[in-house]
Amino acid sequence: MPPSAKAKITKADKTRARLIEVATRLFQEHGSGEVTVRRIAAAAKIEAGSIYYHFASRDEIMRAVLESGVGGAHEEVMQAIAKAGPDCSPLERFRAALSAHFKYTLRRHFSSRMKEIRRLPKRLRDHHMKQEREYAAVFAGLLKEAQRKGLLRPGFDLPVVRMLAIGALTWAAEWYDPAGAKSPDDVADELMRVLTGGIAR
């Protein structure tokens, strides 16, 4: 099914997309293990049995949520980097990437922290982990570029720094209050300020 020119969007495509969307949100809000097929169906306004026209099993929903989630984040982060432009500093682009990651996580209610991944058949689990590595490589590449250009102080373990930074935002999606005074960009900016300059005098 190549999504080329003539890809017509059927009713099934729409329902399937809606199911993935509500499942993503429910998994994130209540924890993947807590969410039943019945609840997903109810949230998508169809009956439980109808789910199985679109997905072969609950695990298959899970898989679709993960693929769509990581894939979507990857895409938006790449776009944000492209928008920042190839001429601006790698740290500027890193900031744009972090911000896009955070905003996507908040908007789509997606986080790849679902523990149930372990329960997936090895084939699907490997595919997900590959997708995650490719996504992480985007951030890693920007930090390496910054290092090459001499923008960083020496002595940091960049993979660790990268994971700490992304982790801070992944976790921020848990406590961030959209009704509060701060915008998602404010949070991403604050992280970037801490990250680049530090808080101490």
| Residues found near its own copies in the complex (CB under 8 A) | 29-35, 91, 113-116, 118-119, 150-153, 155-157, 160-161, 163-172, 174-175, 182, 187, 190-191, 193-201
| Nearest Cα residue to 61 out of 22, 98, 110, 107 | 22
Phi, psi of 103 (to 5 degrees): -65, -40
Distance in angstroms (rounded) separating the CA atoms of residues 167 and 112: 11
The partner in contact with residue 49, picked from its own copies, DNA, none with C-beta cut-offs of 5 to 8 angstroms by kind, is DNA
CB closer to its own copies out of 123 and 153: 153
Shortest reach from residue 71's CB to DNA, in Å: 22
Shortest reach from residue 9's CB to its own copies, in Å: 33
Residue burial 145-176, b: 16+ Cβ < 10 Å; e: rest: ebeeeeebeeeeeeeeebeebbebbbebbeeb
* Interacting residues toward DNA by CB under 7 A: 10-12, 15, 36-39, 41, 45-50, 52-54, 56-59
